[in-house]
Amino acid sequence: MVTRVNRRDNDTAQMVRTESGSRRGILLDFDHTLFDTDRFFWVDLKAAFTRFGVSDDAWEKSYETIWPSGYSLRTHLEALFRLGAIASVSVASAMHATLERSFSDLRPYLFPDVVEFLNAARQQDFDLILLSFGDPAWQSYKVQASGLTPYFTQIMYTPHEQGKAGMLDMLAPAYADLRAIDNNPADLDAMKASTPRLQTYLICRVESSAVEGADPSLRDRFREAARYLTIPSRLPHRQCRSLNEVSLSWPN
């Protein structure tokens, strides 16, 4: 009886090994990992609103009111209209059309190592899985407009903080080798806690000069990315500043 149970366990283990076999996957975060979100959002998008006469103060105030329920250009423009920072609904509509046109191609906001890294990983038969936190429609716009959709086997969005660990639980059994790259230590901690064999890379895209210096002009340039540097890691992660530091070879 015991032998039969053991054999069944062995068969199951063998089956899992065969199914997951040599499958390798990389879980990638989007904002501040692949995409220079601060330069897009806090520098260039904000500057486009400024050209329409919207003050920094009104822009930030309206942003603060709408982001908790999911960001979109439309809701941001509506909030600015309610604040009196945009004269009429027709002006808001014209702004919306112009902004959509101006920011339809977001490829210039990818960090310079991204496309080369994704191609190299695909060539080495890694499945690439995008796990992205934020409003699904807004995240989807950024991912598509940055031209990254074709690189990924799966693209998953979660509007919930810490939602990535739940997604990983579903994905992990299919992979013999799994790595994750993220700029948020809290997400890496949660994922590593649920799947200890996950190889985690904490990537920092913030330039050292911006962290050390007190230059106010750099405040928006690394506005959100710099906040993640203040979050402590509970678990150890490999630290890197570039995707070129992420190993694509088999673990020893």
- Footprint on this chain of Mg ion (rule: CB under 5 A): 29, 31-32, 183
For the bound state, the minimum distance from the C-beta of residue 20 to Mg ion, rounded and expressed in Å, comes to 27
CB of 46 to Mg ion, least distance (A): 19
Closer residue to Mg ion (CB): 32 or 237: 32
- What does the chain look like in DSSP terms, one character per residue? -HHHHHHHHHHHHHHHHHHHTT-EEEEE--BTTTB-HHIIIIIIIHHHHHHTT--HHHHHHHHHHHGGG---HHHHHHHHHHHTSS--HHHHHHHHHHHHHHTS--GGGB-TTHHHHHHHHHHTTEEEEEEEES-HHHHHHHHHHTT-GGG-SEEEEESSTTHHHHHHHHHGGG-SEEEEEES-HHHHHHHHHH-TT-EEEEE--S-HHHHH---GGGTTTTHHHHHHTTSPPSS--EEESSGGGS--SPP-
CB of 161 to Mg ion, least distance (A): 11
Name the one residue in this structure whose structure tokens are 């339809």: 104
In sequence order, which residues have a C-beta less than 8 Å from that of residue 83 and are 6 or more positions away?
58, 61, 62
CB of 133 to Mg ion, least distance (A): 7
* CB of 187 vs Mg ion, minimal distance in Å: 8
Which is nearer to Mg ion, 112 or 216 (by Cβ)? Answer: 112
Closer CB to Mg ion, residue 127 or residue 187? 187
Q: In whole angstroms, how close is the CB of 156 to Mg ion at the nearest point?
A: 14
Comparing CB distances to Mg ion, the nearer of 54 and 225 is 225
139 vs 183 by CB, closer to Mg ion:
183
For Mg ion, which is the closer residue by CB, 76 or 142? 142
